[in-house]
Structure 1
Amino acid sequence: METKQHTIKEPVTVSGVGLHTGVVANMTFNPAPPNHGIKFQRVDLETQPIVDADVDYVVDLSRGTTIEHNGARVNTVEHTLAALVGLEIDNVLIQLDGPEPPIMDGSSAMFIEALERVGTEEQNALRNFFEVTESLFYRDNDRDVEIAALPLDDYRVTVMVDYNSPVLGSQHATLTNIKDFKKDIASSRTFCFLHELEMLHKNNLIKGGDLNNAIVVVDRVVKDEELDNLAALFNKPKVEVKKEGILNNVELRHRNEPARHKLLDVVGDLALAGRPIKAQILAARPGHAANVAFAKKLKKAMKDSRTAAPYYDPTVEPVMDINKITQILPHRYPFLLIDKIIHLDDHMVAGIKNVTMNEPFFTGHFPGNPVMPGVLQVEAMAQIGGILVLNTVPDPENYTPYFLGIDKCKFRRMVIPGDTIKFKCELTAPIKRGIAQMNGYAYVGNTLVCEAAMTARIVKNS
């Protein structure tokens, strides 16, 4: 998996009809800055409102996932989101001049092709992974659906479906490496059964449906009269049922194409949790309602983990090394107390301090039983917080951060030589007039060793 955030190099547009609305729309993917995330913008509406790809904004799950916010609705977002996850694109603004992304051929393949045409670009920010550390489970007894997320330092998805149908039967699909999404999953098309098709048509849910953008599974004998009605429905001179039970369609792209498309939907729907995931996802008989319910469970787990230690892999290139840190902070030896910045966005910063016996303060602070002074732990935390505040101005080298106050400070465990401290600071309120309020945490491993509420201010150098 990519460790740095990515966007696209230039805008790219795809056009077509929406599956459920039947409205022709142009959809343009635009580059976006680090930590922007995935957002849709309805440029056909008066105020051109923006809708975040967020599970909290899901409003409808009728055969697709629909989000709505700021007075704007975007239908059937899952295939678009799956393509972005499959290419590990984190930041993009998707402009739509209609209510629904084009269905294209019913898969994510054409979105993948368009995005690869312009290429992706690495950004100077680490991806904010949510790493599942304890198994999460979801079950819907009425629909006999089960979904689980198990701890794994990667992203893998396995889906099992069983339609009690002589045509489909039981199927499963597995994605063991996200980089295989393009060749193994992206081309798998949406599908429905013939008996569902009539219901969908009566409820105006497939105004843009066509035999070129969906697989229709026929699992019963169909009379010639019904085939004539279907031909009229799809504005075709003739439709037929092939021996394999697929209505008037080309050969399946994969023997288990329906299961692969269900996996595609899982990947797209779980993107609404808001962060790239590290976990083994197992889903039995999933659908959009269950996917979204599980995405909400994941998002809640993400919120609950905000006070957890930040993830740190020493082999990954940091957001800022010591050279970049010294370009921003005015501190120098022996009072520069941080070594790396490993995460930085608009609300949170995380950094590393490696504590060694060579620290100058150990000479006089309990030299026979060296313990890092608590006040220096707080100073290191404040320096980390200073970088968060300096990140709000375009020229941080021209400002100096000052520590104004501290509250609710607690020391929970001694820090000794050999420890690696992981610091995290989060804003608790919007920055006003250069003054920031934040909560700071320090961890050794996953153990909280120090915490405090802090106030800092940045002042422009004279």
Structure 2
Amino acid sequence: MDKQRTLASSASLKGTALHTGENVTLTVRPAPVGHGFKFKRIDLPDEPVVDAKVESVKTVERATTLVEGSVKIHTVEHVISALAGLGVDNALIEMDANEPPIGDGSAAAYVALIKEAGIVEQDAPRSYFTPREPISVQVGDSILTILPDTKFRVSCTQVGPEGRFTQYLSAEITPDFYETEIAPARTFVFYEDVKPLMDKGLIRGGSLENAIVARGDSVLSKEPLRFPDEFVRHKILDIVGDLALSGRRLRGHIVAVKPGHGPNTELARALVKRHSDYVAMAPTPIAAEGGVLDVNEIMRTLPHRYPFLMVDRIIELVEDTRAVGVKAVTINEPYFQGHFPGHPVMPGVLQVEAMAQVASVVMMRRTENIGKIGYFMSADSVKFRKPVFPGDTLFIHCEMLSAKKRLGKAACRCEVNGEVVSEGELLFGLVDK
């Protein structure tokens, strides 16, 4: 099972902020499971914390800015990009100013900072968003689309004014690829945009030491280009950081034409909305070939019936490897009469049963297993983290770890509102009816 990751220790970085020009010290710290990325302003009274979520994005001119009340965090995309790009899920980012240091204009300094702190696995599974159909946004002449995929890929086209510096790159974004091929790419600006930005009070800390200036068909920089297509690589760096504001890791193929912080964050908003639509169980096709099974299809697959059928719908089914099921928990469940009067709580053993039923659906979809029945054999590493109450919607995730002729082993978890409430590894056997 793919586990969440955080930092092994804390590490600090000092430097100058790009837009405000202030000196700032930034410290990355470990954070607990489910924490995500948060910024803490230790220079302000009460040291307020701002969630790195797209809901907090207020301005996106030349950078992504988070605002919560009167607290602002400018230019968050590079540090978040480095964390997400290296596979970190949870981190607290402390600053004594309102903008992270710009470094050399790339994410290389943050990659070095994260590697100094170290990365460790945590005792909880990662939560992924895997769209089932394309999601697209258009802002001006920028178009970004996410296509269903089993990996995280980006195909990006960067186009400058009058078609200058048109560049294209397509790649799977893994931690190793990000560190060597994306993180070193520096931010850039076109010469004709410099004065307007300065007139707006931006790029006060900008220089040729932390940005590339494109003038005509030439570039001005303290060092040669690090890549022939450095501009498009930096655009991908920004995409990774801005989409991390959706709050979930993504399995999908992003196709981006002329991206920018505005279009990027609009796509992040679209991801959040689409996930909410899935959670709300918006009407979807129920055909098996679409990867979605309704309750009738489930009952044709499993022998369970009322009151012991613990799955209402399968909303994701990827061949015979993984599935996501849904169970709407209502007060009408018969077990609530005795568990417990006046304080109804779904029994943990029934959550485990729900996991086993989703795992059985995965196995029973195999042609050679049609007509068989699965018997629960053991449950290992079972943990119950939060109670489940009437009115909750249980999302049951199952990923097959091994599948032999007569035995199947699966890593499973139940989530409510995106938080893990129970989990375990299940072993079951298949026999003829």
Distance 1:7-1:198 versus aligned 2 partners, 3 A rule: same
Amino acid paired to 2:46: T
Which residue of structure 2 aligns with residue 52 of structure 1? 51
Q: How much has 1:175 moved relative to structure 2?
A: 2.6
Q: How much has 1:174 moved relative to structure 2?
A: 2.3
- In structure 1, the residue corresponding to 2:251 is in which secondary structure? strand
Which residue of structure 1 aligns with residue 170 of structure 2? 174
Q: How much has 1:250 moved relative to structure 2?
A: 1.1
Distance 1:296-1:246 versus aligned 2 partners, 3 A rule: same
1:374 aligns with 2:306: yes
Distance 1:172 1:136 in 2: 21
- In structure 1, the residue corresponding to 2:146 is in which secondary structure? strand
Q: Give 1:293's match in structure 2, choosing from 255, 266, 270.
A: 266
Contact kept? 1:148, 1:282, Cα under 8 Å: yes
Q: How much has 1:210 moved relative to structure 2?
A: 1.3
Amino acid paired to 1:290: P
* Structure 2 counterparts to residues 151-162 of structure 1, below 5 A: 151-162=148-159
Distance 1:416 1:271 in 2: 29
Distance 1:442-1:7 versus aligned 2 partners, 3 A rule: closer
- In structure 2, the residue corresponding to 1:246 is in which secondary structure? strand
Distance 1:182 1:444 in 2: 30
Q: How much has 1:117 moved relative to structure 2?
A: 1.4
Task: Give 4+ residue runs of structure 1 displaced > 6 Å after superposition.
Answer: 442-445
Contact kept? 1:15, 1:102, Cα under 8 Å: yes
Task: Give the alignment's TM-score, normalised by structure 1.
Answer: 0.65
Amino acid paired to 1:45: L
Which residue of structure 1 aligns with residue 392 of structure 2? 439
1:204 aligns with 2:177: no
CA RMSD of aligned residues (A): 3.5
Contact kept? 1:175, 1:181, Cα under 8 Å: no
Which residue of structure 2 aligns with residue 14 of structure 1? 13
1:43 aligns with 2:39: no
1:190 aligns with 2:187: yes
Q: How much has 1:203 moved relative to structure 2?
A: 1.5
Distance 1:248-1:47 versus aligned 2 partners, 3 A rule: same
Work out the percentage of aligned pairs sharing the same amino acid. 33
Distance 2:143 2:16 in 1: 33
Contact kept? 1:67, 1:75, Cα under 8 Å: yes
Q: Give 2:279's match in structure 1, choosing from 287, 294, 306.
A: 306
Aligned length: 328
1:218 aligns with 2:215: yes
Which residue of structure 1 aligns with residue 146 of structure 2? 149
How big is each residue's C-alpha offset from its partner over 1:24-75, in whole Å with a ceiling of 9 and x where there is no partner? 1111000001111100011100011110001111111121000011431100
Contact kept? 1:49, 1:70, Cα under 8 Å: no
Distance 1:161 1:378 in 2: 49
Q: Runs of 5+ in structure 2 lacking a partner?
A: 283-297, 313-324, 330-337, 347-356, 364-385, 399-433
Contact kept? 1:3, 1:127, Cα under 8 Å: yes
Distance 1:252 1:302 in 2: 39
Deviates more, 1:156-165 or 1:187-196: 156-165
How big is each residue's C-alpha offset from its partner over 1:405-461, in whole Å with a ceiling of 9 and x where there is no partner? 599xxxxxxx8995459xxxxxxxxx9xx894442458899xxxxxxxxxxxxxxxx
Q: Runs of 5+ in structure 1 lacking a partner?
A: 220-243, 310-354, 356-368, 389-399, 408-414, 422-430, 446-462
Which residue of structure 2 aligns with residue 275 of structure 1? 248
Distance 1:177-1:61 versus aligned 2 partners, 3 A rule: closer
Distance 1:157 1:405 in 2: 46
* Structure 2 counterparts to residues 226-265 of structure 1, below 5 A: 245-265=218-238
Amino acid paired to 1:259: V
Task: Give the alignment's TM-score, normalised by structure 2.
Answer: 0.69
Distance 1:79 1:151 in 2: 26
Deviates more, 1:198-207 or 1:107-116: 198-207
Distance 1:181 1:285 in 2: 20
How big is each residue's C-alpha offset from its partner over 1:353-378, in whole Å with a ceiling of 9 and x where there is no partner? xx9xxxxxxxxxxxxx9842312235
- In structure 2, the residue corresponding to 1:377 is in which secondary structure? coil
Contact kept? 1:4, 1:125, Cα under 8 Å: yes
Contact kept? 1:11, 1:118, Cα under 8 Å: yes
Distance 1:184-1:69 versus aligned 2 partners, 3 A rule: same
How big is each residue's C-alpha offset from its partner over 1:10-35, in whole Å with a ceiling of 9 and x where there is no partner? 00111111100111111100000111
Contact kept? 1:370, 1:416, Cα under 8 Å: no
Distance 2:16 2:68 in 1: 22
Deviates more, 1:196-205 or 1:75-84: 196-205
Distance 2:214 2:34 in 1: 42
Contact kept? 1:189, 1:213, Cα under 8 Å: yes
Q: How much has 1:308 moved relative to structure 2?
A: 5.5
Contact kept? 2:24, 2:99, Cα under 8 Å: yes
Amino acid paired to 1:439: D
Distance 2:100 2:251 in 1: 28
Structure of higher CA gyration radius: 1
Distance 1:401-1:18 versus aligned 2 partners, 3 A rule: farther
- In structure 1, the residue corresponding to 2:33 is in which secondary structure? coil
